[in-house]
C-alpha cells in the first residue's frame, strides 16, 4: 500500500488507483453538504407545456379526415299522401375538416386515410368566415337543385327564377382570375340575358376553348361593366372554360308541393346526388336501391350532371366503415375511391343522374316510374 501523500485540510490516501478523500478538517465540518435538486420536474413541466402547445397551436394546414356516411332517407320530408318510404338506404358521405395542430398533423401524416394539406388548397382566396358562409350557400343551393332535378325527373314542371349569375368562387390561373371577382353578378353573355346560373354556364360552355366571350358584369358597388375574355380548356368536360363557380342570385322555384331536406351542420355541394336519389326514392313506389345500402358523392347540376367533389379518399373510408354495399362516385374520382374501398365495398361510376339510375337498375333497383324523365307530366 502506498503511504500518505499529504496531511492537512484535504488529506487523501491512495489505494491503488482509487482516490479516497480523507476526513474533513475543522472548517469543513461546519459547512453542511449541499444536496442537488432533481431536474426531472423541470423537464416534466416543459414536456407538458410542449404537449399542450402542440395540441392547440394551429398551423397553416388543414387535416382532411374521414367523416361519416349519413342516411339521407330520414332527412327528407315530402307530403304524406305522396310518400313511399323505402326499405333500402341512400347515404351521403362527408369529410372531417379541421385546422391542423402539430399533433394533428403528425397523426394525419401517419394515417393513410387522412390528408394534411396547405390551407390555400381548402380556402382558396376566401377568408375562413367567408369560406364557411360559401359552404352554407352551396348546401342550400344543392338541396334546391336536388329537389328540382328529382321533381323534373318524375315529370313535375318546376319553374326557376333569379336575378343573375352570382360569382361565389374564382379559380386561380384561369381566364376569370383578376377580371371577375366573388360577389359580382353576370347579367348577360354575348348580349343574351342570363338571370339563372344554368343560363350563364350553358352560354359559356357553348363556346370552344380559345373563343372570346363578352360578359356583362355588375360589380359589388352596383356599377355594370363589360368584360371580354378568351376562354380556356375545361379540364373535366368539353366546351369553353371561364374558371368561376356560379350560383343563381335570389334563386327561387315554383314547387308543385313542399319538399324539406334537413342538412344539419353539413356544408358544401357534394351531397347533391345523394339528395336527388333520396327525393326520388321518397316520391316513387318500388325500391330504388333494390333494398341495398348505396352511398354516393357528387354535386348535382340543374341539367342532371354529376360533378366532382373533394376528399373522395376520406369519404370512401367513411362509407367503408358504415358498411355500405355500393359507392357511386363521379368518373374522374373512381380510381382514387376504388384504391381506398377495401374488399367489401363496390365502387361504381355515375357522371349524371341517368347514369346513376342505370347503375341502380343493374343492382336490382326499381326505376320504372322514373323512365319518363322530365318530359312526363304530372299534376
For residue 22, the enclosing domain spans 1-32
Q: Give the H or E element holding residue 200.
A: helix 197-205
- Span of 64-68, 289-293, 304-308 with lowest mean pLDDT: 64-68
Q: pLDDT digits over 213-246, tens only?
A: 999 999 999 999 999 999 998 876 778 899 998 9
Asked whether residue 151 falls in the same domain as residue 231, the answer is no
| Total of domains in the chain | 3
**Residue 113: inside a domain, yes or no?**
yes
**Residue 42: inside a domain, yes or no?**
no
Asked whether residue 320 falls in the same domain as residue 206, the answer is no
Q: Give the H or E element holding residue 18.
A: strand 18-21
Asked whether residue 263 falls in the same domain as residue 363, the answer is yes
pLDDT value of position 218 = 97
Contact 179, 228 (CB under 8 A): no
Q: What is the mean pLDDT of residues 114-118?
A: 69
Contacts of 258 (CB under 8 A, 6+ apart): 78, 79
The residue among 255, 283, 287, 278 whose CA lies nearest residue 328 is 278
Asked whether residue 364 falls in the same domain as residue 261, the answer is yes
Which residues on adjacent β-strands are paired with residue 218? 185, 224
Asked whether residue 367 falls in the same domain as residue 263, the answer is yes
Could you tell me whether strands 212-218 and 185-189 are parallel, antiparallel, or unpaired per DSSP bridges?
Answer: antiparallel
Please report the DSSP string for 242-293 in residue order: --EEEEETT-EEE-SS--EE--TT--SSTTHHHHHHHHHHHHSSS-TTTT-E
| CATH number for 75 | 3.30.230
pLDDT value of position 217 = 98
Cα angle for residues 173, 178, 183 (degrees, 5° grid): 110
Q: How far apart are CA 186 and CA 192, in angstroms?
A: 11
Asked whether residue 138 falls in the same domain as residue 269, the answer is yes
Cell numbers that stand for 292 in this block: 341495398
Please report the DSSP string for 93-126 in residue order: EEEEEEEPPHHHHHHHHH-TT-EEEEHHHHHTTS
Q: What is the mean pLDDT of residues 282-291?
A: 90
Q: What is the CA radius of gyration of the chain?
A: 33
pTM (2 decimals)?
0.70
Task: Give the pLDDT band of residue 309 (cuts 50, 70, 90).
Answer: confident
pLDDT value of position 264 = 83
**Residue 72: inside a domain, yes or no?**
yes
φ/ψ of residue 58, rounded to 5? -95, 150
Q: What is the mean pLDDT of residues 339-360?
A: 94
Give the number of other CB atoms < 10 A from CB of residue 256.
14
Contact 108, 116 (CB under 8 A): yes
pLDDT value of position 10 = 42
How large a percentage of the chain has pLDDT more than 90? 50
Amino acid at each position: 500500500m502506498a503511504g500518505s501523500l499529504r496531511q492537512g485540510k484535504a488529506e487523501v490516501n491512495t489505494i491503488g488507483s482509487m482516490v479516497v478523500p480523507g476526513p474533513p478538517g475543522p472548517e469543513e465540518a461546519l459547512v453542511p453538504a449541499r444536496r442537488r435538486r432533481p431536474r426531472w420536474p423541470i423537464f416534466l413541466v416543459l414536456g407538458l407545456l410542449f404537449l399542450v402547445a402542440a395540441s392547440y397551436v394551429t398551423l397553416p394546414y388543414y387535416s382532411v379526415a374521414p367523416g361519416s356516411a349519413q342516411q339521407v332517407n330520414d332527412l327528407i320530408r315530402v307530403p304524406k299522401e305522396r310518400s313511399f318510404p323505402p326499405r333500402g338506404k341512400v347515404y351521403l358521405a362527408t369529410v372531417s375538416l379541421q385546422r391542423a395542430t402539430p399533433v394533428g398533423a403528425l397523426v394525419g401524416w401517419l394515417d393513410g386515410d387522412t390528408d394534411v394539406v396547405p390551407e390555400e388548397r381548402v380556402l382558396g382566396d376566401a377568408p375562413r368566415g367567408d369560406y364557411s358562409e360559401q359552404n352554407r350557400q352551396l348546401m342550400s343551393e344543392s338541396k334546391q337543385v336536388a329537389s328540382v332535378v328529382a321533381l323534373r325527373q318524375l315529370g313535375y314542371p318546376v319553374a326557376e327564377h333569379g336575378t343573375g349569375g352570382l360569382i361565389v368562387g374564382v379559380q386561380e390561373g384561369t381566364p376569370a382570375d383578376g377580371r371577375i371577382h366573388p360577389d359580382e353578378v353576370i347579367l348577360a353573355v354575348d348580349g343574351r340575358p342570363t338571370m339563372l346560373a344554368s343560363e350563364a354556364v350553358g352560354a359559356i360552355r357553348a363556346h370552344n376553348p380559345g373563343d372570346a366571350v363578352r360578359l356583362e358584369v355588375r360589380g359589388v358597388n352596383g356599377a355594370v361593366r363589360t368584360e371580354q375574355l378568351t376562354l380556356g380548356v375545361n379540364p373535366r368536360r368539353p366546351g369553353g372554360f371561364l374558371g368561376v363557380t356560379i350560383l343563381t342570385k335570389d334563386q327561387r322555384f315554383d314547387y308543385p308541393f313542399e319538399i324539406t331536406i334537413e342538412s344539419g351542420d353539413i356544408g358544401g355541394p357534394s351531397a347533391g346526388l345523394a339528395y336527388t336519389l333520396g327525393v326520388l326514392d321518397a316520391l316513387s313506389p318500388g325500391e330504388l336501391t333494390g333494398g341495398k345500402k348505396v352511398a354516393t358523392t357528387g354535386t348535382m347540376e340543374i341539367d342532371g350532371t354529376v360533378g366532382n367533389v373533394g376528399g373522395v379518399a376520406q369519404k370512401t373510408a367513411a362509407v367503408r366503415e358504415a358498411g355500405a354495399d355500393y359507392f357511386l362516385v363521379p368518373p374522374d374520382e373512381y380510381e382514387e375511391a376504388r384504391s381506398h374501398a377495401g374488399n367489401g365495398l363496390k365502387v361504381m361510376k355515375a357522371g349524371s343522374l341517368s347514369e346513376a339510375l342505370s347503375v341502380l337498375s343493374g343492382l336490382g333497383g326499381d326505376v320504372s316510374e322514373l323512365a319518363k324523365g322530365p318530359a312526363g307530366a304530372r299534376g
